[in-house]
């Protein structure tokens, strides 16, 4: 049997047929730079897991201008049906035109669960859809299970950015609307043999009420104090080349700081010293470059969510508190790290 015949056979087997009777799990797709956003694929994968337990079909909704070809990706990710609203009025995201399409569709289809990505688009649309349809909304779901007795989705939502999670459900309200945290669910296997015929949605153009006037020339957001910075790259006496540290901070969108050694070297000001006698920090990411990690410094970073330490000496105390340790000379590893980060 030659491979092309096998391909044909598998392709025929995987032609997806849609169910009648409404309900189902619906995923509203995010399109970024002409491609389906990863969070949408993750949401379809999560929806497939729920669908198995729920005994429901997974549908995806695609909105935009010239987006019809992207429906194939949604089928490959696991959608059983795809609805496409392809219209010039939907070329760029605006609340009212998108909402009109979605509400009309969901009022006709009666979905049981609706998933959005926790993206700017999803965060604007999901509450309005939930409010219009009388549904409950759980935001930033990072895990989902099903209470099969009541067909209720239970989701874990991060508290204080992930310090712990509350398990939440909206058992009374239907539909159950959720936004999915990007990166929290795995991207599903993309089955190239999975295909289907998307259905078009008729679009009645609606004028958006919020107008974009143009770039905010000269506007700079207020600077965040070092103590509240989400990303910090700190240098120590062994950092070697402080220019590389600054480049790493720029590549990560972080702030530059250091320990007392960096201050002695003249690289940073006194207000940038991370130390319990200086600034105590709690960033999401803390990179310590050439910092030994004395008691005062390590106490000041104990609330950091993730610490990457780079130091040539394997016995330094910073390696006892860091999550990830790189035993290397910063002068050698930083150029390679910048390269790996695409900076």
Subset of residues 248 to 307 that bind other proteins, contact rule: CB under 8 A: 252-253, 284-285, 287, 305-306
Determine contact, residues 85/203, Cβ cutoff 8 Å. yes
**Of 62-70, 191-199, 261-269, 312-320, which part binds other proteins (CB under 8 A)?**
312-320
Shortest Å distance, C-beta 57 to other proteins: 25
Shortest Å distance, C-beta 137 to other proteins: 5
**Of 62-70, 197-205, 225-233, 260-268, which part binds other proteins (CB under 8 A)?**
225-233
Which has the closest alpha carbon to 24: 40, 43, 47, 46?
A: 47
Which has the closest alpha carbon to 29: 161, 142, 72?
A: 72
Between 120 and 205, name the residue whose CB sits nearer to other proteins: 120
- Cβ neighbours around 85 below 10 Å, total: 24
Out of 4, 211, 266, 315, the residue judged to bind other proteins by CB under 8 A: 211
Q: Does residue 95 interact with other proteins by CB under 8 A?
A: yes
Q: Quote the crossing angle between the two packed helices 242-252 and 330-340, to the nearest 10°.
A: 30
What is the C-alpha to C-alpha distance for residues 144 and 168, in angstroms, rounded to an integer?
10
Shortest Å distance, C-beta 210 to other proteins: 5
Between 4 and 211, name the residue whose CB sits nearer to other proteins: 211
Query: Which residues face 309 on adjacent strands?
Result: 288, 325
Shortest Å distance, C-beta 150 to other proteins: 10
**Of 3-11, 55-63, 152-160, 266-274, which part binds other proteins (CB under 8 A)?**
152-160
**Of 121-129, 235-243, 270-278, 291-299, which part binds other proteins (CB under 8 A)?**
121-129
What is the C-alpha to C-alpha distance for residues 31 and 12, in angstroms, rounded to an integer?
28
Size of the site for other proteins (CB under 8 A): 79
Q: Round to the nearest angstrom and report the end-to-end CA distance of the chain.
A: 49
Determine contact, residues 123/138, Cβ cutoff 8 Å. no
Q: Does residue 228 interact with other proteins by CB under 8 A?
A: yes
Q: Does residue 146 interact with other proteins by CB under 8 A?
A: no
Shortest Å distance, C-beta 273 to other proteins: 20
What is the C-alpha to C-alpha distance for residues 69 and 48, in angstroms, rounded to an integer?
22
What is the C-alpha to C-alpha distance for residues 41 and 178, in angstroms, rounded to an integer?
15
């Amino acid at each position: 049997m030659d491979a092309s015949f096998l391909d044909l056979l598998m392709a025929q087997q995987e032609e997806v047929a849609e169910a009648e009777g409404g309900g189902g799990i619906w995923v509203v797709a995010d399109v970024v730079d002409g491609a389906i956003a990863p969070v949408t694929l993750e949401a379809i994968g999560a929806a497939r897991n729920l669908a198995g337990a729920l005994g429901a079909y997974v549908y995806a909704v695609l909105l935009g201008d010239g987006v019809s070809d992207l429906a194939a990706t949604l089928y490959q990710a696991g959608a059983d049906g795809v609805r496409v609203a392809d219209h010039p009025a939907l070329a760029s995201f605006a609340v009212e035109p998108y909402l009109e399409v979605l509400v009309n569709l969901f009022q006709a289809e009666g979905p049981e669960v609706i998933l959005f990505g926790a993206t700017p688009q999803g965060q604007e649309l999901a509450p309005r859809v939930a409010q219009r349809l009388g549904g409950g909304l759980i935001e930033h779901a990072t895990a989902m299970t099903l209470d099969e007795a009541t067909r209720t989705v239970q989701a874990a939502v991060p508290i204080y950015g992930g310090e712990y999670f509350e398990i939440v459900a909206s058992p009374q309200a239907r539909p159950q609307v959720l936004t999915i945290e990007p990166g929290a669910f795995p991207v599903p296997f993309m089955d190239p043999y999975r295909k289907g015929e998307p259905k078009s949605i008729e679009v009645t153009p609606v004028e958006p009420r919020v107008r974009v006037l143009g770039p905010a020339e000269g506007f700079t957001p207020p600077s965040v104090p070092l103590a509240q910075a989400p990303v910090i790259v700190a240098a120590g006496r062994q950092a070697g080349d402080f220019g590389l540290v600054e480049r790493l901070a720029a590549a990560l969108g972080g702030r530059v700081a250091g320990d007392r050694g960096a201050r002695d070297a003249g690289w940073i000001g006194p207000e940038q010293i991370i130390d319990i006698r200086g600034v105590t920090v709690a960033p999401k990411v803390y990179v310590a470059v050439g910092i030994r990690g004395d008691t005062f410094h390590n106490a000041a970073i104990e609330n950091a969510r993730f610490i990457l330490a780079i130091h040539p000496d394997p016995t330094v105390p910073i390696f006892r508190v860091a999550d990830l340790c790189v035993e290397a000379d910063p002068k050698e590893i930083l150029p390679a790290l910048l390269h790996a980060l695409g900076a």
